[in-house]
Every structure is written in structure tokens, then in C-alpha cells.
Chains A and B, each alone.
Chain A
Amino acid sequence: MTTASEPTTAIANPPVEALESNLLPSDVVRISATRSPPQPDRQLTKVAKLIDVSKCIGCKACQSACIEWNDTHPELEANVGLYENPHDLTPEMYTLMRFTEYENPEGDFEWLIRKDGCMHCEDPGCLKACPAPGAIVQYSNGIVDFISENCIGCGYCVTGCPFNVPRIHKTAHVAKKCTLCSDRVAVGQGPACAKACPTQAIVFGTKEEMTAHAEERIADLKSRGYENAGLYDPPGVGGTHVMYVLHHADQPALYAGLPEDPKIAPVVEGWKGPAKTVGLAAIGLAAVGAALHGLFGRANVVEPSDETAAEKLVKSGTSGPGEGA
């Protein structure tokens, strides 16, 4: 069997013959709760999904494709007068169109639609927070993936993520999120959502190409009056492997609360950095010190004179001097 090539687009149809995976365990560059990161012998090309918000028509084909490919079963919910369906990301819905009604300063109405989901951070907070070895990995092409068989369902990744993306499955007790279709990418295919998108608002390729494509789109948007159009590739998390073209890149929060400057929360960094090391060292030193001193130090021993004094006291039956202090 030949090995699948690294995908550079989501549009191409798959080859007919069976292919060997190109995304191997040896391509992992970061592993949760593992001290020494692996040293891969090759570097895959960095990939990215680019979501051009200005081209999105809100059809939710991406959601359908995601459900179908990942074989998830999102709950049927009631219509509460919003377009979001389901109402939030869930353990069974890895991507969600979020709809925002925005009245711009000129008084015109804008309907902003953002496809929410895992951003595949270059510096993933979920991975940093995870206590289970091997439950979260990052491949050298940038994809951050949850390995369910190693996941213990503790929810630490939820606190680590700056984008509020991971969800804990209530019955499987594992964390779930968009995989960037790592299983499709492994055999040379682009993500299902990008493949299904009818307007190519979602495109997939190398990060370099996607950044270049975004520049064209931004130039186009600027020529049509969106002077603040720009690319959302937040440096606070080392850049992301899911990027947005926004018409109002100066106000990402307009798009259903997309964070302005996302970064791993300092309290998470502190907890998973100094606190972890210093805490363990303190406990270790205290335990060893106490054990050594307990074994070799001079103990506080009751002397026979103490026993005699106690007997005298009890025999005399009085409480003796010193009482009533």
C-alpha cells in the first residue's frame, strides 16, 4: 500500500485505492502530562483551516458533514427563537454556527455568522492542563487531537482552553472536540466541514497557503469598504490552525464573543508550571526530612520521673499547685 500524501485542499476527491496513514504516532510533537516531548524524525507541513466569515451563508452544511463524518448524535433541541442549533457546542456537536445580529455605526444591520469549534492552537491550553499522559497530543502538522482511550474525563482541558471548546461526554466520560478531521487528513483528505461548504467559506490547506489566501480575501474586503478586515490568527496562543477572515478584525468579540487576545490563563500557567514543581518538591522534602529526623533524631521520650510524678498526683487525689490558672 502506498502512503497517503499530505492534503493541500479539501476539494479534491479521494483516490480509489486504499492508502497508508501519513499521520503516525511518531509525528506527535506534544503529549499531555509527559515530561520529555518526543523527537519526531520528520516535520509535516503545517496545515490550517481558514474560515472566511464574509462568505458564510449560515447553511450549516458544515455541521451536518461534521455529524456525519464523526458519527455523532446531537440531541434534538427545541426552537427557542435562535438560529443556533444546537444551542451550544456539545460532546456530540464539535462545530457550531453562531449567529450575531449587529447594527454597525452607520446604522446598518449586519448578520455575523461564525463557525465555532476547536481552534487547534499552536500552544494548546487544553494539552497543558491535561493530567492524563497521552490523552491530548499535537502532531507536527499542528493538529491537536484528543485520544479518548487515554482520557479520564476530568475536565481539566475545559479550564485550560482559552476558547471554551472542549466538552465532557456525560456517558462516555471523555472530552470531545473537533479533531480537524485528523483521520481524514491522515489519508490525504481535507476536513469534512470544508469539503461540504457550498461557498468555500471554509477552505483547507497548508498554513502558508491559507495565510496567503486570507490576504487576497482581506484585500478584496478592504476594496469593498471593510477597512478593518483582517486575519484572526491570535499570537497569544502561538497562532492557530483554524483561522478566520473577519470583516471587523478590530472587534473579534462582535462574532459571538470571539476572544480579543486569547492566551492560556495565567492561573492555569501557574498551576501547571511553578505550583506543580514547587509543590511536589515541598512535599518530597518534608516527607524525607521528617522520615530521616524521625529515624535518626532524638525523640521526645517520657521519663520515669514523669511517671512517678503522675502517680503521686493521682494518689494525692488533689489537683495540686498550678490549678485554676
Chain B
Amino acid sequence: MKPVYSERRDHIASRQPVTVSRYRGLTRLNHWVTALSLILLALSGLALFHPLLYPLSALFGGGATVRWLHPVIGVVLFFSFLILFLQLWRLNLPRREDRVWLSHLGDVVSNHEERLPELGKYNAGQKLVFWAMAGLIVVLIVTGVMIWEEQLPLWAAQAPSLASIPARRIAVAIHALAAVAMILVFILHVYAAFWTRGTLRAMTRGTVTGGWAWRHHRKWLRELAGRQSRGPAE
């Protein structure tokens, strides 16, 4: 039977006390490579975004280093996120309960989780962060390549209209706006991971407590509990 609310590899890791395996090592490594790239990109990008933040370029060895390093890290992030995306997209597809969850956003913020529907592996907020990141990364990589001065000769002859100066003007502005949006989504993502206590260990140790799973992702836990009871024969 194909799991609806969980990945096949998610499982009850221990029963007394209950811990649940949420992310395997490879996924966590993948996540942290993406996270580190994003942080480096934000710092180096902000240095070129606002004169007040230009001193951030010193972290990388100066503006000229930022000029070549930023796009290289951008490519790393793109592929790192792509691999992450392929692992996570299925359970991030919208479901009926997401609309209910979103309409109860007040209860989410005020901690009235009992008024919310039971959820699978991700809530609507996590899904929105996921799709926002995915969309923004596509926008950023496309506009980023368009304004990557050093690599223009690679593709300018094939798509001269995209390499034109008016096109690059628009690209650089969109790149900046998308980057601001990306940083805002990133702040939300980090904040939510801290605010919802017990979440961080999912990306460090890979497991969460049974209580965490029960409280926030009950359908996910139910599916895993049901699966383990049927035993290894299945």
C-alpha cells in the first residue's frame, strides 16, 4: 500500500519513549548544504544590494571575490535544492486539510492546536515555505544567470534577446526583489523551526519525539504506527 501521509523510510525509531525517524542522514546533509549556501548567498548578495551592507563583502575577501563567488554558490544551491525538492515534493502537495489549517491561522499563532485538523507530514505553512523556496530559487537562478557577467559568452549568442541590456536591467531588479522575498521566507522558516519546540532535532538527529509527532503531524504518526504494527513481513 502506498503511504499517503509519510515517506516509506519514515518509521517509529523507538517505542519507549517513542521517537520517530523523520529525515535520513542524506536528506539532512542535503538540507544543510542548501542552508549553508543560502546563508552565504544572502550575506554576499546583501553586500551588493545595499551600500550599508557592503562591508559584508569583507567576509568573503572583498567585493571582487563576491562578484565571482556569489553566482558559483548560487549554482551549488540550485542543484542542492533540486535534490532536496525531488525528495520532498510529493508530501508537500496541497490537501483538503491545508485549507482548514490556513483558515485557522489565528489558532496556529495562538497555540490552539486542538482546534486544527490532523495533519500529515507537513502543515500548510511548511508547504507554503517549500513551494515559495522552490519558485523563488527558479526565479533567482534564471535572473542570476542572466546577469552573470563572466558567463554571458556561454549563452548570449543563443538567446540574444535575454542577454540584451534592457532584459538584464529587468533581471537584476527581479533578482533583488526575489532575493528579498527569499530572505523573508528564510526568516519565517528558521523562526517557525525555533518557535515550534522539538522541531530542530528533525534536521540534526533526524528524529522527533512521539509527542511532537502527535501534536503537530498526527496523521503522519498514525500512518507510521499502523505500518509498524503490521510487521516486517509486509
Contacts and interface: CB of A to CB of B under 8 A. Distances in A.
B221 A302 contact: no
Given A300-B195, A302-B197, A267 B210 contact: no
10 contacts: A152-B66, A154-B67, A155-B149, A158-B168, A268-B173, A283-B180, A293-B195, A303-B215, A310-B221, A313-B210
Contacts of A323: 219, 222-223, 226
Interface string B147-166: 10110000000000000011
A29 interface: no
B189 to A, nearest CB: 10
Contacts of A316: 225
Contact of A131 (B51, B169, B222): B51
Interface of A: 33-35, 131-133, 150, 152-156, 158-159, 161, 164, 168, 173, 265, 267-268, 270-271, 275-276, 279-280, 282-283, 286-287, 290, 293-294, 297-304, 306-311, 313-320, 322-323, 325
Interface of B: 12, 15-18, 46-54, 57, 62-64, 66-68, 97, 111, 113, 118, 147, 149-150, 165-166, 168-170, 172-173, 176-177, 180, 183-184, 187-188, 190-191, 194-198, 209-215, 218-219, 221-223, 225-226, 228-229
B156 to A, nearest CB: 12
A223 to B, nearest CB: 39
Given A33-B54, A313-B210, 16 more contacts: A153-B67, A153-B149, A265-B169, A271-B173, A276-B176, A283-B184, A290-B187, A301-B198, A310-B18, A310-B211, A310-B213, A310-B214, A313-B222, A314-B225, A316-B225, A323-B222
A126 B122 CA distance: 47
A286 B184 contact: yes
B166 A265 contact: yes
B173 A131 contact: no
A159 B165 contact: yes
A279 B52 CA distance: 13
A20 B150 CA distance: 39
Contact of B149 (A168, A265, A268): A168
For the residues of B in contact with A, the DSSP-based class is helix
A224 to B, nearest CB: 37
B210 A314 contact: yes
A66 B210 CA distance: 75
A242 to B, nearest CB: 19
Among A276, A279, A303, max chain B CB count under 10 A is at A279
A54 B222 CA distance: 85
Contacts of B223: 319, 323
Contacts of A311: 15-18, 210
Contacts of B218: 322
A100 B177 CA distance: 40
A287 B225 contact: no
Contacts of B170: 267
Contact of B172 (A271, A308, A318): A271
Contacts of B166: 265
Which 5 pairs show the lowest CB-CB distances between chains A and B? A310-B210, A319-B226, A317-B229, A155-B149, A307-B211
Contacts of A298: 111
Contacts of B169: 159, 265, 267-268, 271
Contact of A164 (B50, B165, B188): B165
Nearest to A33: B51
A301 B111 CA distance: 9
A95 B167 CA distance: 25
A279 B165 contact: no
Nearest to A173: B64
A44 to B, nearest CB: 26
